[in-house]
Amino acid sequence: MGTDTFWDLIEHARTIDAPFHEALIILLAARGVDDVLAFHAHFDALDTAVDRWDVWAAGYLIGGGCSDDRFMDFKAGLIALGRAWYERAARRPDDLAEHPDVQQALAAGAEEAVFYEEMGFLASTAYGHLTGNEDGFYPALDHYRPQHSEVEDRPHDMGEDFDFDNAEEMRRRLPRLAALYLKENQR
């Protein structure tokens, strides 16, 4: 499975009249075990690519805080947004201020925009549907990775660490998101 196929599956799942993660599980399970493992390998590479302090800060603002577990859900949610928004947020996390889900959640007073926990587990669920053994997913993935080079495991740099509780710093680094989520008198 190539990168384009990975993103095509995500876009196709959006067209199915079912919750997104359930649709993607169905699509993945229909493709077979190797594609499920390849999908997750791509997912991991994309997740690692946005494992950065500036992206985490965006999640912190949007979520009203963001623990390490919530950050995993946020990165999974970025992938679930699809290729265009994922790539845009990877370049400039502050652009998420323009995403319709962020705008709608903000208007509704919700803190769930972008966060998508189920996205991180759908490959293992699809694997379980195919094999009857969801617990076998991670050992199979460990066996799969070294044999397939289409997704490289590269070291990444999280960038410069900074204090998410410093409103002035957040306004400087993520001005549009900070304008949406921080109170004017917050310092």
**Per residue in 37-60, pLDDT tens?**
999 999 998 999 999 999 999 999
CA–CA distance, 182 with 170 (Å, rounded to integer): 9
What count of other Cβ atoms lies within 10 Å of the Cβ of residue 94?
19
Cα–Cα distances in angstroms (integers) from residue 137 to residues 26, 131, 133, 175, in the given order: 16, 9, 7, 41
Q: Band of the pLDDT at 154, cuts 50, 70, 90?
A: low
Q: Are 94 and 177 in contact (CB under 8 A)?
A: yes
Length of the chain: 187
pTM comes to: 0.91
**Beta-carbon contacts of residue 159 (< 8 Å; ≥ 6 apart):** 52, 53, 54
- Cα–Cα distance for residue pair 118/25, rounded to 1 Å: 10
Q: Which two tokens stand for residue 48?
A: 């690692």
Q: Is the pLDDT of residue 99 over 90?
A: yes
Residue percentage of the chain with pLDDT more than 70: 93
* Closest-CA residue to 175 (of 98, 115, 108, 63): 98
Of 132 and 107, the structure prediction assigns the larger pLDDT to: 132
Q: Is the pLDDT of residue 78 over 80?
A: yes
What percentage of the chain carries pLDDT values higher than 90?
A: 79
105 pLDDT band, cuts 50/70/90, is: confident
* Residue 184 pLDDT > 90: no
Q: With b meaning 16 or more CB within 10 Å and e meaning fewer, what string describes 4-42?
A: eebbebbeebeeeeeebbebbbebbbebebebbbbbbbb
| Section 169-182 average pLDDT | 95
Of the candidates 170, 183, 184, 181, the residue with the CA atom closest to the CA atom of residue 97: 181
| Residue 145 confidence class, pLDDT cut points 50, 70, 90 | confident
